Amino acid sequence: MEVIEEQGKQFILVPGSCHGVWCWYKLKPLLEVAGHKVTTLDMAAFGIDLRKIEQLRTLDDYTLTFMELMELPPQEERAILVGHSFGGTNLTINMEKYPQKIYVVVFLAAFLPISIHISAHISQSIRGSIPNNDNVKDYMKAIDEKFVSSDKALVSTL
């Protein structure tokens, strides 16, 4: 296994579902002290991102913040992407769109979807697995309210 000994690598840390940038609060300073640049971001409708999940129509909508970030670095600067849980989906989407901007990808207990027609595959899988009834909607709303408010408090400490 290759060990990355160079200083100054760019890390992009992507949280999983129902998480925000706060979940990287222990790892981020360790990487920075080691001389690396670290970017953490909230995905759409999670963390401090105020969009509602109902506003998102596609996986590209969900990962838009990440895609915009991937367009920023110069062509020669490649990032190490680290994703946890559902963040693996975001990694896969960006791997397909920006392969030239990626040094290595780490799936940390993360979802690894097939790469052919990823958006359609995941959307169909998710739609087929969640019942469409008021109990589920109420439950998801309650979870969203609980986690979004706690994310804001935690993120304000970073």
Q: Is the pLDDT of residue 83 over 60?
A: yes
In a domain, 3, yes or no: no
Give the three-class secondary structure for 79.
Answer: strand
| Cβ atoms of residues 16 and 87 within 8 Å | yes
Q: Give dist(CA 144, CA 131) in Å, integer.
A: 18
135: CB partners within 8 A, 6+ apart = none
Q: Which domain holds residue 148?
A: 10-155
pLDDT tens across 94-146, in order?
Answer: 998 999 999 999 999 998 876 555 555 555 555 555 556 666 666 656 655 65
Which CATH number goes with the domain that contains 127? 3.40.50.1820
| Cβ atoms of residues 10 and 37 within 8 Å | yes
In a domain, 4, yes or no: no
Q: Is the pLDDT of residue 49 over 80?
A: no
Q: Is the pLDDT of residue 38 over 90?
A: yes
In a domain, 1, yes or no: no
Number of domains in the chain: 1
Enter the DSSP assignment of 42: P
